[in-house]
Structure 1
Amino acid sequence: MVGNAIKAIVYQYPQHEFVFLTRTNCELTSRMSVLTFFSSGDNRFDYIIHLAAKVGGLFMNLDSNAELLLGKGYKVFGIVRRTSLLYSYTRLDHIRPKLKLRYGDLSDSAGLSNYIHEIVRENQGFTILEIYNLAAQSHVKISFEIPEYTADIDGIGTMRLLEIIRTLDPGIRNKVRFYQA
C-alpha cells in the first residue's frame, strides 16, 4: 500500500529525481557502506537533511558519518523525536555544535514543512538539497501491536515529506533529491 502511494507520487512528478536507497546500493547500518556511498564523486551534495525518528541506521554511526559529511563541507540538519536517545550519546559531543538538530516527528506535517522551508530560506544558493528519510517504526513485533502508528510514521510520514517537496518553488524543487530507506 505504501509502496503504491509513493510510486503514484513519483509517476505524478516525472521531472523530479527520486532516489530510494535500498540494501542493494547502500547498507545503511554499515559504517563502511555509508562512507563509501558518500565518498563517491557522484554523490557529492551541498546540503543534506537527515530525518530520523529513532536511533538507528545512520544515527547509530552518526558521529563518523556526520564527521565525514561535515568534513566535506556539508551542512547537516536533522529532526529527532523528543523520546530519542540521540541527545544522550556523549560520543556526539565533539560534533554536536556543528549539527543542526531539532526536535520533531514525521506525524507533524506543519513542523516538517516549517523546518524544510526554513532550511531552504536560510540557505539560498545550494546546488543540491538531499533529504534522507530514515525514520521508521521498524520493530516488527511493535508494528503489529501499534499498526496505525506504524502506518502513520512509515507510510504517511513519507508522503508528508513528498508533499512538502512538491509545494516548494519549482527552482528549489528541481534541486531536491529524496532518499527513502
Structure 2
Amino acid sequence: MARRALITGVTGQDGAYLARLLLDKGYEVYGAIRRAASQTLPRLRELGIADAIRPVTLELNEFSNLLRALEQVRPDEVYNLAAQSFVHTSFEQPIYTGDVGALGVTRVLEAIRAVNPAIRFYQASTSELFGKAQTMPQSERTPFYPRSPYAVAKLYAHWITVNYRESYDLHASAGILFNHESPLRGPEFITRKVTLALARIRHGQQDVLEVGNVEAQRDWGFAGDYVEGMWRMLQQPQAADYVLATGRAYSVGRFIELAADALGFSIGWEGTGKATRGIDRRSGRVLVTINPIHYRPAEVDLLVGDFSKAKERLGWQPTVALPDLVAMMAEADDRRVRDGRLML
C-alpha cells in the first residue's frame, strides 16, 4: 500500500516541490488548502502535478478541522509548511502571525497525538530563528535570537515540536532551513522581486527596482534540494532537528548583480547607505534604488549555515550553486514577462 503524506502549505513554493518529490516516490499526496487560498494552484500546475494532489480543506486555527482531516486522510507523514511567512508583514500582523505560526503548530501536534501518535511530523523551522546571530556559521547548537514576530512565532513552533518529541515520543523533526529559492518563489520575497523586476525592466514594463538593505547577507540555496532534506528527516529511525544550508553567504546586492548579468545588464554601484544606486554600466541607466520603506524595524545582517549534521546523518547536501539558481529564476521570469504569462 502506498504511503500517505499530508502537506500543509502545499500551494507554496516548498509545498509544490515536496509534493512532486513524494509523488515521484509513490506516495498518495494530500494537500491541505485553506478556503481563502487560490483554487487555481498555479505552482502545482507549473510542475504539472495539480491533478495528482488530493485536496483537503484545512485551517490551522481550527482544532476540530485538524482532527477531522487527520481522521479522514490517515497519513503516515505530515509536513507542516504553512505559516504567515512574510517577515515584513509579521510586524504589521504580529498576533495573526503568532496564532498561525506558533499555536497552529501546537494544534497539529495535539491532533496527531490524539488521532495517531505514530504519524511522523515535519516542522518547517527557519534560519530567522538565529536573527542577531551569536556565532558564525550557525548550526543546530547556535543560540537563537529572533528579530521579528515571524521569527518569534517560529521559535515557539520549533521548541513545541522538540517538546512533543521528548514528552510524548512523537517522531517530530524540525528542519532549520536557510533561505531557499526557485522560479516558484512568490514575488513578495526579495529574490523573486529582483528577478521579476529586472525582467520587466528588460522588456520595458518597469522603470526601476526599489529595494531595502542591499548589504544584508543570506545563505541561499535551491528549494528543490531542500525538500529532499525534509523527506530524509522523516525516514530516520529517530527524529531530530537539522540545519539545511549551503555554507556560503552572499549580499542582496550580489544577488541583484547576478540577476542583472543573466538578463543582459551589468550593475555598478554608486553612493552609500540609503543613497546607493545600481547603474547599468552599458547604458548608464539607473536600475536599482533604495527605498527606506523596505528596511526591517530590526534588521538581520548576516546568516550562513553549517549543514554538516545533515550531510553526515542524512547524506544531504546542496546541488545548485547560487549563480545557477539566480540564472534559473531570471530566465523563468524573462520567459513569463515576454510571453505575458505571469503566474503566482
TM over 0.5: yes
Where in structure 2 are there 5+ consecutive unaligned residues? 125-344
Query: Identity percentage over the alignment?
Result: 34
The residue matched to 1:132 in structure 2 has which SS?
strand
Report the Cα distance in structure 1 between the residues aligned to 2:30 and 2:44, rounded to whole angstroms: 18
Report the Cα distance in structure 1 between the residues aligned to 2:43 and 2:86, rounded to whole angstroms: 25
**Is the aligned partner of 1:113 residue 2:54?**
no
Report the Cα distance in structure 2 between the residues aligned to 1:138 and 1:90, rounded to whole angstroms: 17
Deviations 1:19-53 (A, max 9, x none): xxxxxxxxxxxxxxxxxxxxxxxxxx822110118
Structure 1 residues 91 and 133, CA gap change in structure 2 (3 angstroms): closer
1:161 Cα shift? 0.3
Report the Cα distance in structure 2 between the residues aligned to 1:105 and 1:154, rounded to whole angstroms: 12
**Is the aligned partner of 1:143 residue 2:90?**
yes
Report the Cα distance in structure 1 between the residues aligned to 2:12 and 2:20, rounded to whole angstroms: 17
The residue matched to 1:137 in structure 2 has which SS?
coil
Report the Cα distance in structure 2 between the residues aligned to 1:115 and 1:106, rounded to whole angstroms: 11
Partner of 1:24: none
Partner of 1:178: 121
1:90 Cα shift? 7.4
Report the Cα distance in structure 1 between the residues aligned to 2:8 and 2:18, rounded to whole angstroms: 14
Deviations 1:59-105 (A, max 9, x none): 3xx2x543332232101011112232362417628432321112322
Which letter maps to 1:178? F
Structure 1 residues 65 and 51, CA gap change in structure 2 (3 angstroms): closer
Q: Is the 8 A contact 1:57 1:134 kept in 2?
A: no
**Is the aligned partner of 1:56 residue 2:38?**
no
Report the Cα distance in structure 2 between the residues aligned to 1:99 and 1:130, rounded to whole angstroms: 15
Matched positions, count: 122
Report the Cα distance in structure 1 between the residues aligned to 2:44 and 2:72, rounded to whole angstroms: 28
Q: 2:112 aligns with which of 161, 165, 168?
A: 165
Where in structure 1 are there 5+ consecutive unaligned residues? 1-44, 124-128
| TM-score, structure 1 as length reference | 0.59
Report the Cα distance in structure 2 between the residues aligned to 1:86 and 1:98, rounded to whole angstroms: 14
| TM-score, structure 2 as length reference | 0.32
RMSD: 2.4
Report the Cα distance in structure 2 between the residues aligned to 1:146 and 1:90, rounded to whole angstroms: 25
Runs of 4+ aligned structure 1 residues displaced above 3 Å come to: none
Q: Is the 8 A contact 1:80 1:103 kept in 2?
A: yes
**Is the aligned partner of 1:103 residue 2:57?**
yes
Partner of 2:33: 80
1:163 Cα shift? 0.3
Greater RCO (Cα-Cα under 8 Å, separation 6 or more): 1
Q: Report the structure number with the largest CA radius of gyration.
A: 2
The residue matched to 2:31 in structure 1 has which SS?
strand
1:166 Cα shift? 1.0
Report the Cα distance in structure 2 between the residues aligned to 1:46 and 1:102, rounded to whole angstroms: 17
Structure with the higher helix share, 1 or 2: 1
